[in-house]
Structure 1
Amino acid sequence: MTQPTPIPGGPPGPDRTVLAGGVVRRLLHLAAAIRHHMDLELAELGLTPAVARALDELDPDQPLPARSLAARLNCDRSNITALVDKLEDAGLVERRPDPTDRRLKALVVTDVGRRIRAQVRRIRSDSRLLAGLTDDQLAALHTLIWQVSDGGCPEECGTERTADRDTPGVAKPL
């Protein structure tokens, strides 16, 4: 039986499968911890993660039909009604006639919804768990995550990609 080949620059001894498995487990642990902290902060706003994500997907300056929101959330149109009801009951959105087709109702973010949405966006993009990293370490981690999640780093790794919500075949958790 052959001995595992050490990975250059990595810890001595473990083979690639063991090392990769450890990385995956740590990434899953980190993702769960980030999600837990986000869920707690969203709960302080009185929102569930699903309702917060729905609000985050709405553009305050562009009314959107509920069916389009369902498509953005990658969920069935029949399931979007409960989310929209919760947003409306909280005063975060209003259903109004669609400006392009008055037969439809469009979702319009209210002034309160704009303020809460800004807080949701901050919560969903903030992770205190990464606060201990230097700027260089954070940039390196960003590049590595892009590399493994997209098969390569975009030309400008420091810029946020807007196509995430429209990436075919990528399920978005609620």
Structure 2
Amino acid sequence: MAQPNAPTSRDRADLAGDTVRRIMHIAAAMRHYQDVGIGELGLTPAAARALHELDPDRPLPARDLAARLGCDRSNVTALVDKLEQAGLVERRGDPADRRQKTLVVTDAGRRVRERVRQVMSDSRLLDGLGADELASLRELVWKVSDGGCPERCGED
């Protein structure tokens, strides 16, 4: 026999559905702010993500960047072309394998990459939360994201 004030499975389903809709709204707002900030840097979201994936201290072959981005190498070629034209990345011969080119982040690319990281970490939507609330939210987000996040959740 159910307790009089115990939530029913229908109440839980409604609560979960409302929560998912609100999370999606927050994600859309964050994406909007990121897209605006990235656009102000003169980049597309795809180019910004590609630059973000490159380690300025470790040149990377384009095929490895494609694997990190989960896309076809032909798409990476177009992204790298844009980054190279903007002076953010250079293609250089790999000293270990002269047949292969590696992607090297330029000094300008390092500066823009740092700005991309800042844009992608924009937390203005969380400004109204106190430290305890923010810590609780972080713990809840970690709890639900550990259950099947499609990307490398623990990385920045």
TM-score, structure 1 length as denominator? 0.80
Greater relative CO (CA pairs within 8 A, separation 6+): 2
CA distance change for structure 1 residues 4 and 49 in 2, over 3 Å: closer, same or farther? farther
Aligned residue identity for 1:98 = D
Structure 1 residue runs of 4 or more that deviate by more than 6 Å after TM superposition: none
Identify the residue that residue 24 of structure 1 maps to in structure 2. Answer: 20
Which SS does the other structure have where 1:26 is aligned?
Answer: helix
Give the whole-Å Cα distance in 2 for the aligned partners of 1:18 and 1:105.
53
Identify the residue that residue 115 of structure 1 maps to in structure 2. Answer: 111
Cα deviation for residue 102 of structure 1 reads 1.4
Task: Establish whether residue 73 from structure 1 lines up as the match of residue 105 from structure 2.
Answer: no
Cα deviation for residue 88 of structure 1 reads 0.4
Q: Which residues in structure 2 correspond to 1:17-166 (within 5 Å)? A: 17-151=13-147, 161-162=154-155
Aligned residue identity for 1:6 = P
Query: Sequence identity of aligned pairs in percent?
Result: 66
Structure 2: unaligned runs, 5 residues or longer: none
Which SS does the other structure have where 2:56 is aligned?
Answer: coil
CA contact 1:92–1:112 (8 Å) conserved in 2? yes
Structure 1: unaligned runs, 5 residues or longer: 8-13, 153-159, 165-174
TM-score, structure 2 length as denominator? 0.89
Deviations 1:117-168 (A, max 9, x none): 000001111221111111111111111011111139xxxxxxx823x8xxxx
Which structure carries more strand by proportion? 2
Give the whole-Å Cα distance in 2 for the aligned partners of 1:17 and 1:99.
58
Give the whole-Å Cα distance in 2 for the aligned partners of 1:52 and 1:71.
16
Which structure carries more helix by proportion? 2
* Number of matched pairs: 150
Question: How big is the alpha-carbon RMSD for the aligned residues of Structure 1 and Structure 2?
Answer: 2.3
CA contact 1:4–1:15 (8 Å) conserved in 2? no
Aligned residue identity for 2:41 = L
